[in-house]
Amino acid sequence: MRINLKSRKMEKILKRAKLQGALGAICILVAGATYFINGEPEFLKIVRVLAWLLAFIFLYYAIANVQRLSGSNVFTIFKYTYNAVLLALLCSIALYVIDKSFLGLIDIGMSFLLLGVAIAWIVINFKLRADTGCVFFAVYAVLLATKVAVNFLHGMLGVLTPALITSGVIKCIGVANALSEIVLPAVLLAAWLGIKSFGDSQDPWR
């Protein structure tokens, strides 16, 4: 009887995690779709911000539920990451208020902060693959890692050897980035919907 109750409880948490994760991915998809819509730029920016905020909330609870079911530390990593981001943002605001000449330094710091967040999110998705067994999380992580690496290399080459960055290269990267705004969240949505169960795993990502 106790086993049945525990099984039902876990099943409810699983369904909740799948729904919350799927809604988070849909919100990211909506945010990406705004880049392809002709409309008032300021309005589209507001839509993007709201969509990302909702995505964060849904994914926060989805990943928390994954940790409850799997016993891994995936939500702990997620929590440490957003705490670090909040701290960095507060420090940046404080520096800007103290002296506006720090703006250039803040811009550089934000670039590295975004890179750090992207790396943490890649690690989280590899851990989600290990926890759930759903390969789409790994596919998403690899695609995102490729996008981050290409854009980082593009930025570095633009600073060190700008002659190598031709108009053709810029156009290709622009098209790839635009497509990724739809493809990446679509893969993430497939990952959350593809979760079947949780079980013990010897995967090193756990």
Q: What is the pLDDT of residues 34-66, one digit of tens each?
A: 999 888 889 999 999 999 999 999 999 999 999
Prediction pTM value: 0.86
CA 35/CA 32 separation, integer angstroms: 6
129 vs 202, higher pLDDT: 129
CA distance 183 to 144: 10
The span from the CA of 76 to the CA of 83, in Å, is 11
Confidence at 113, pLDDT banded by 50, 70, 90: confident
pLDDT number for residue 48: 94
Tell me if residue 116 falls in helix, strand or coil: helix
* Alpha-carbon distances of 6 from 69, 130, 178, 195, rounded to whole Å: 11, 23, 45, 19
What is the dihedral angle through the alpha carbons of 156, 161, 164, 167, rounded to the nearest 10 degrees?
Answer: 70
- Cβ(49)–Cβ(177) below 8 Å: no
Indicate whether 171 pLDDT > 80: yes
Please report the sign of the dihedral spanned by the C-alpha atoms of residue 58, residue 59, residue 60, residue 61. positive
Name the band, by pLDDT with cuts 50, 70 and 90, for residue 74: very high
